[in-house]
Amino acid sequence: MNETFTGRTYLVTGAARGIGRELVKMLAAEGAEVFFTYYQEQDKVDSLLDELGPLAANVACVEQDARVPEGAQRVVDLAIERFGKIDGLINNAGYKVDRSFVMMHQEDWDDQMNINLNSVYHYSRAVAYHMMRRKYGRIIVMGAVSGSLIAGPYQVAYGASKAGLIGFTKSLAYELARFNVTVNMVTGGMINTDGMKFPEDIRKVWAEHIPLQRLGNAPEVASMVKYLLTPMSDYITGQNFVIDGGMTLLGFTKIENMLPSYNKGASNLGQTI
């Protein structure tokens, strides 16, 4: 247990797998209370709660589709009802669809915006007044290098949704600073989680093109989020922390050349984070 986190309550969206799952485990192990959301992955939720063991007593969750606007206020109300307050919000829910711009359907665009960008707006707005009244709060936004730092092939919608989070983070950080509420962004590069749908041979090729010669992992990203929830980060707001093994140092814009036979411009390669 860690005194820094004991008595603190955090809301994590989209935490049944990957980085969100790792973060729930980390925070619970430090003595924090955690409320998280998931969508259509009850088996993964059950395995997470089993893995937590006795720590699960301080963890609660609810199924909620991130695309439903009114769902955010419902989740925030449930979290406050269960634990009395929310000290930090981690906007982790996200989804990626790779599709050629000219082959894109309206629902593809809408889904990317609703899950990756609009849900961050709705959840952040739902907790803002609560944090402002308490004169304390931490809001974390999970970004991606695609769109914000590099051009991802067939990722116009995904890139636009993630790039929009940079402006959101900076503007909200400025607005909430006088209430002692910080807003920061954690941007991951190629993170090797169970949500990554590409086969092992493609992951190996990717790793060879990254300066640190490997993919990142969920604990590394979750650890950065955890740091931003500690008092050590009290003087940090409106910043974007990039965890990518150096892949964006030289642009890394030729990803499509590393996907022979996997991406022909009209594919639908989904990746859930």
Q: What is the pLDDT of residues 35-69, one digit of tens each?
A: 999 999 999 999 999 999 999 999 999 999 999 99
CB of 95 within 8 A of CB of 18?
A: no
Amino acid 269: pLDDT: 44
Which domains does the chain show, CATH number per domain?
Answer: 9-272 (3.40.50.720)
Chain centroid to CA 25: how far?
Answer: 15
Alpha carbons 61 and 59: distance in angstroms, whole number = 7
Alpha carbons 259 and 210: distance in angstroms, whole number = 15
- Residues with a catalytic annotation lie at 158
Amino acid at 172: L
Q: Is the dihedral of CA 187, 190, 193, 195 positive or negative?
A: positive
Q: How many residues does the chain have?
A: 273
Structure token digits, residue 46? 């059950």
Q: Name the DSSP class of 229.
A: T
Q: How confident is the model at residue 261 (pLDDT cuts 50, 70, 90)?
A: low
CB of 190 within 8 A of CB of 174?
A: no
Amino acid 2: pLDDT: 74
Q: Name the DSSP class of 109.
A: H
Mean pLDDT of 237-253: 88
Structure token digits, residue 193? 């989680």
Dihedrals phi, psi of 115, to nearest 5 degrees: -80, -50
Q: Which of 97-106, 149-158, 240-249 has the lowest mean pLDDT?
A: 149-158
Q: What is the pLDDT of residues 60-118, one digit of tens each?
A: 999 999 999 999 999 999 999 999 999 999 999 998 888 899 999 999 999 999 999 99
pTM score: 0.91
Burial of 214 (0-12, 13-18, 19+ CB in 10 A): middle
Alpha carbons 140 and 153: distance in angstroms, whole number = 27
Amino acid 199: pLDDT: 77
CB of 189 within 8 A of CB of 145?
A: yes
